[in-house]
Structure 1
Amino acid sequence: MFFSFAAAVVFAGALVPLSPAVPLRVRADQVGTGDAKFDYVVIGGGTAGLTIAARLAEFASVAVIEAGGYYETDYGNASVVPLLSLTGIDVIDPSEAFPHRPEIDWELLTEPQTNAGNRRVHYAQGKTLGGSSALNTMSYVRSSASAYQRWADLAGDSSYTFDNLLPYFKKSVRLTPPNLQKRNAVNATPEYDPNSFGSGSPLDVSWNNWVDPTISWLAKSLQAIGLVVNPKGWSSGDLNGGSWVPSTIDPAHATRESSQTSFLDYATGNTQLVVYPHSQATKILFDGTTATGVSVNTDGTVYTLSANKEVILSAGVFHSPQMLMVSGIGPKSTLEANNIPVIADLPGVGQNLRDPISVNVAHFVSTPNAQGIVANPATQPEALRQYQEEAAGPYSSAAGYISYERLTDELRSTLSDSTRAALAALPSDSPEVQFIAGTFLWTNGSAMGSMSATICNTFSRGSVTISSASISDAPVIDLGWFSDPADGDVLVAGLKRSRQAWASEPAQSISLGAEVIPGDSVATDEQLLEFVKANANMIWHPSSTCSMGKEGDKDAVVDSGARVFGVQGLRVVDISIFPFSLPGHPQASVYMIAEKIADAIKKGAQ
């Protein structure tokens, strides 16, 4: 994504978030130290980790091991104020020159991407309670019913169909309807199905309390080229057309809602959950092939947390496969090359990495945007007042408008035969391209509007492996960008479709001059593909490195209950077990899978 952070950062220090007087923190008696025994030990206090830990703690003794601390303390307003999730979180810089924030980011660098200009990509991942739910842009978008049916087919388990998953989606959220008075935008009324949401979960989901004028016009431009408004929004299993995006935002205070502010705070007040912050899980311990606990290092002190029942690994898409491998589970050749005793030869560990990529088309625009308002000394004080006193205004706003579409016949005809065949193998209603309407400031302070195209089905595959037997050495990550030519073909078509949106009357009415990104000189298919490969970036939705599947499948690491093949007492519960990259945004499905597996464990324990 093309963003200028400078304007937001200038004012970030002056902000005082309008939040509850004293955020709930883990009680002194819930902070763990030294050897201990629990029913369940959870490795990773991220999106899935805190969710499943909180649910398991309702009926069992549970410990969570987290390498980071509290992001609100370590990173401040940038991690709390919605607008700053787009403009103030500097660690999402994908370049090798990224700002170093080791207190909240794992600071991972990938291998050179041979099909994308040999770029080494900084892949931000939350090292904090809340994990990447503390750094993301808070979009709450479920996938399509056909995608979950595909998941069910790959796992051999009908409980993964959308209708069967819906109770867990509903359980994991507490919906607040849009505040139309604060939004104050007649053409930006969200459409949604209230029956797709719950009302009792700790996790707040709502819509922005302010609408960016530029995004309103770009939404109209998408509608003008045929991507009509979806009357049920993005939570009913149909990803088709356009919709204003719900977000994980506490609407009463317009602050970020993460797994820490929701599930951890809930567990702190209602269970005996024990948290080990600033602590590194170094290895899963086994008795034969049965997981018995976790070795932990806290500031140089090494101790053991024993699990009477199970170890739950929730370390994320890059660190979960790394933890399995350093603990003796993974491809036999990799383990032996690093002198790691083999507990289970699982070739799929670290394989099948899917990473959706995106590219922008951008113009200077005449309409105001949030970044410009808060960067302007004449308008920033009122924006700050609105935020502090009303939980409204530009600072309260994050996610905007998204559209999904299967490629038009015109664009499909430009694809290669192999790409058309790859798309034809997907469900007939599966969206192929996602369009995100966005806005940012150019380096000279001018307002820009952008239309990004993102592939919904990632055909390229990357991998995660290890360079040593130590968890302290970073995992070796190859994103595999454009290793399958279909991804480049689809992104070129998506870029052309974005240009069609910019050519519509609504977009032309706010556009100031010629296209800036990629520019009119990028015209032929060859030039477009060259631009895509040089400029595409991730949207921070990698998945599938510990894929769910049937025993014996080459990529399968866990079964439909998230149990690791070849061992006992060990599950993986995070985005790494998604069998493929789901269309949509994964946050909603991560919360869901944690709820689902927690429920399965609870039923099995009864």
Structure 2
Amino acid sequence: MLIPKTYLLALVLSCSFTLTTCTKRKRLPSSAYAIPGFNATYDYLVVGGGTTGLALASRLAESASVAIIEAGGFYELDNGNQSIVPYYSLLIPFLGVAPDYPRHPLMDWDRTSTPLSGADGRTIHYAMSKTLGGSSSHNTMAYLRSTKGSFQRWAEVVGDNSYMWDSFLPYYKKSCQLTPPDWKKRDTPNATFTYDASAFSSRGGGPIRVSWANWVDPTTTWLAKALQALGMKLSTEGFNSGTLSGIGAWSNTLISPKYAERSSATEYLKKAIEETEIMVYHHTQALKVNFNAQKKATSVRVSTQGLEYVLSARLEIIISAGAIHSPQLLMVSGIGPKNTLQNQNIPVLSDLPGVGQNLQDKLFFTVSSGITTPNVISIVNNPANSASLLHQYLDDQSGPLSSAGGYLSFEKLPAAFRTNFSARTRAALATLPADWPEIEYIVTGFPSSQSRIPTVGALSPTILFPFSRGNVTISSPNMADPPVFNLGWLTDPIDTELALAAFKRIRVGWNSSAIAPIKTGPEVSPGPGVTSDADILAYIRKTCNQVWHVSSTCAMGKSLANNPMAVVDSKARVFGVTGLRVLDASVFPFALPSHPTATLYALAEKIAEDIISSSGKTWVGR
């Protein structure tokens, strides 16, 4: 085809940093953004520029030509301060769960679940990132790693000892760099904590910045006392050394306390644009992966706002579209449950019944009460504080606007709260590793609608390993049509027994003497009248929400012979075809007990190394 001169000029500019005459000038950032509508070929195509996709693509681009296909744009432009300033990450409107949530088509896919039988028949809006940076662009910036026992289980399930903690830790270190907390700016004597600096690289590490916020919400420090009154100990090493136990201040993905801005996966992209020839097709949706007669993935048909064209890969295609959209793209491309594909008149390329199955989604619920301490939202919303808070943030990178962090606690429920567990529940929980916490407790505070109550304090238990399972399927062979997904909340009695026990434990915490000085009035939600197990469970079903940690819909496994529901092997290669991998939370073999962001960065580092080391080799999954 005849290529316009303007396009040739763009190509020259994109490579200009390699010319000997331009060695003193880095590549123009604008050179990395491809002109849509032209068929093109690269060594690797990465479908999805999210948390994992950008990290993986950037590492591959160090030694090969790489293009990223991303349906969204730039969160810095499309979401502004909501994504950049830490405080606002607590209040992003489109994270609402009700179907009438405030829509944001530039950032979110507008996806809603099927009615959930275990959650009072509710349909849940599930925010899914549509932007470069993915969920790292609008999460609460929590950075926590999983446990040593969970990695041992991962290694056993997939038959690969490189997933053991000691082998995986270097990838955690490679992805990020730690900045110690600024104790002077935090200036909260009762909010000190300890952490293990040896869990991070001593030689700089990778693009993601990790630190702690420069301000502490006073409400969270008091609610942490309620957890201590329940017998939970303060963590002595933090949540990044392979242990999740006790109470601690979570670390954040911050561009250091010096600047107090979000650090996201775009840190990888910025570095890659300067140092490699990476290319980005933004506002471009992948429609289908194409294969040759030998079942090798060769290209992706894409659409940039209705303009369709084809991008080809010499070596591999990696799908990184998230736990809901990755299985959808596999299915419309002919990989998935045979009956599902045939019902949509999609030719079956690889019959993988596990595609879209095994969905695990953590959920939380809240027990709240009135307290007298101020909370971050009321402080910021007070017009009398506006000027001083803005001055603190812009001039000193401190104060409430600099903070999105607080306290978390992890535990296995103590014996006193396990007495009503069924034999089935006891047996199932006993299969989890000894260091695997069953419950995470989140502490927050928000303004009250009652004048006599300054703040509503919230203690929120989260079920970290749901035994309930959901699924993802398709309603058509067209990626433009939304996937159909069932979150499966509270459909397994094990989860309801855990929820009831955690609810009762939190009530004990609310009645402890440790927080009596700040507690005011009766329980706000669900209220003192809710006492029976039936009423408590009904409340939980009506009010539980997600923590946006959905996973395992394209789960890793040793082989199809070992696990017929596996979708990818331990190197993220899709079974039954060649040249195709999936890499995001969908490939977790099970829901991890930690927040996923840190592990996704590390997993991207690991798989990038696998890809580079195996470049040019042929593999066929069985």
TM-score over 0.5 for the pair: yes
- Residue type of the partner of 2:306? G
- C-alpha separation in 1, matches of 2:525 and 2:401: 26
Indicate the residue corresponding to 2:43 in structure 1. Answer: 39
2:332 pairs with 1:319:
no
Q: Report SS of the residue matched to 2:555.
A: coil
Indicate the residue corresponding to 1:210 in structure 2. Answer: 215
2:569 pairs with 1:564:
no
Moved more, 52-61 or 193-202: 193-202
The size of the alignment, in residue pairs, is 581
- Residue type of the partner of 1:231? T
Residue 52 of structure 1, aligned match among 48, 56, 73: 56
2:426 pairs with 1:435:
no
Indicate the residue corresponding to 2:17 in structure 1. Answer: none
- Residue type of the partner of 1:487? D
Residue 244 of structure 2, aligned match among 219, 227, 239: 239
Indicate the residue corresponding to 2:169 in structure 1. Answer: 166
Moved more, 216-225 or 536-545: 216-225
- C-alpha separation in 1, matches of 2:45 and 2:449: 47
User: What are the residue-to-residue correspondences of 1:67-82 with 2, within 5 Å?
Assistant: 67-82=71-86
User: What are the residue-to-residue correspondences of 1:296-315 with 2, within 5 Å?
Assistant: 296-315=302-321
Indicate the residue corresponding to 2:548 in structure 1. Answer: 540
Unpaired runs of 5+ in structure 1? 1-23
2:131 pairs with 1:121:
no
Residue 403 of structure 1, aligned match among 406, 409, 417: 409
Conserved? CA contact 1:218–1:506, under 8 Å: no
Indicate the residue corresponding to 2:507 in structure 1. Answer: 499
Moved more, 209-218 or 31-40: 31-40
Moved more, 31-40 or 571-580: 31-40
- Residue type of the partner of 1:464? V
Indicate the residue corresponding to 2:7 in structure 1. Answer: none
Indicate the residue corresponding to 1:282 in structure 2. Answer: 287
Residue 358 of structure 1, aligned match among 359, 364, 369: 364
2:589 pairs with 1:583:
no
Asked which structure has the greater CA Rg, the reply is: 2
Q: Report SS of the residue matched to 1:119.
A: coil
- Residue type of the partner of 1:416? S
Deviations 1:182-226 (A, max 9, x none): 100112123111110122311111101100101011112212221
Conserved? CA contact 2:32–2:278, under 8 Å: no
Deviations 1:413-453 (A, max 9, x none): 12222211211121122111100111112345742211100
> What's the CA shift for 1:458?
1.0
- Residue type of the partner of 1:529? L
Indicate the residue corresponding to 1:329 in structure 2. Answer: 335
Residue 583 of structure 2, aligned match among 542, 561, 573: 573
Moved more, 99-108 or 445-454: 445-454
- C-alpha separation in 1, matches of 2:66 and 2:193: 39
For normalisation by structure 1, the TM-score amounts to: 0.94
User: What are the residue-to-residue correspondences of 1:442-521 with 2, within 5 Å?
Assistant: 442-444=448-450, 446-521=454-529
- C-alpha separation in 1, matches of 2:576 and 2:448: 53
Conserved? CA contact 1:32–1:275, under 8 Å: no
- C-alpha separation in 2, matches of 1:477 and 1:402: 29
Moved more, 533-542 or 192-201: 192-201
Moved more, 566-575 or 505-514: 505-514
Unpaired runs of 5+ in structure 2? 1-26, 617-622
Indicate the residue corresponding to 1:554 in structure 2. Answer: 564
- Residue type of the partner of 2:301? S
Deviations 1:121-168 (A, max 9, x none): 000011000111112111001111111111111101111111110000
2:196 pairs with 1:193:
yes
- C-alpha separation in 2, matches of 1:29 and 1:581: 35
Indicate the residue corresponding to 2:5 in structure 1. Answer: none
- C-alpha separation in 2, matches of 1:25 and 1:194: 36
- Residue type of the partner of 1:232? E
Deviations 1:332-367 (A, max 9, x none): 000000010111000000000000010111112111
Indicate the residue corresponding to 1:7 in structure 2. Answer: none
Cα RMSD after superposing both structures: 1.3
- C-alpha separation in 1, matches of 2:188 and 2:233: 18
> What's the CA shift for 1:29?
4.8
Residue 266 of structure 1, aligned match among 254, 266, 271: 271
Indicate the residue corresponding to 1:66 in structure 2. Answer: 70
Q: Report SS of the residue matched to 1:362.
A: strand
Indicate the residue corresponding to 1:593 in structure 2. Answer: 603
Residue 93 of structure 1, aligned match among 96, 104, 122: 96
User: What are the residue-to-residue correspondences of 1:100-111 with 2, within 5 Å?
Assistant: 100-111=103-114
Conserved? CA contact 1:30–1:272, under 8 Å: no
User: What are the residue-to-residue correspondences of 1:16-35 with 2, within 5 Å?
Assistant: 26-33=29-36, 34-35=38-39
2:156 pairs with 1:153:
yes
CA separation of 1:480/1:142 partners in 2, compared to 1, >3 Å: closer, same or farther?
A: same
Indicate the residue corresponding to 2:21 in structure 1. Answer: none
- C-alpha separation in 1, matches of 2:307 and 2:95: 32
- C-alpha separation in 2, matches of 1:596 and 1:391: 34
> What's the CA shift for 1:32?
4.2
For normalisation by structure 2, the TM-score amounts to: 0.92
- Residue type of the partner of 1:488? T
- C-alpha separation in 1, matches of 2:584 and 2:35: 23
> What's the CA shift for 1:555?
2.1
Indicate the residue corresponding to 1:222 in structure 2. Answer: 227
> What's the CA shift for 1:605?
2.7
Moved more, 392-401 or 379-388: 379-388
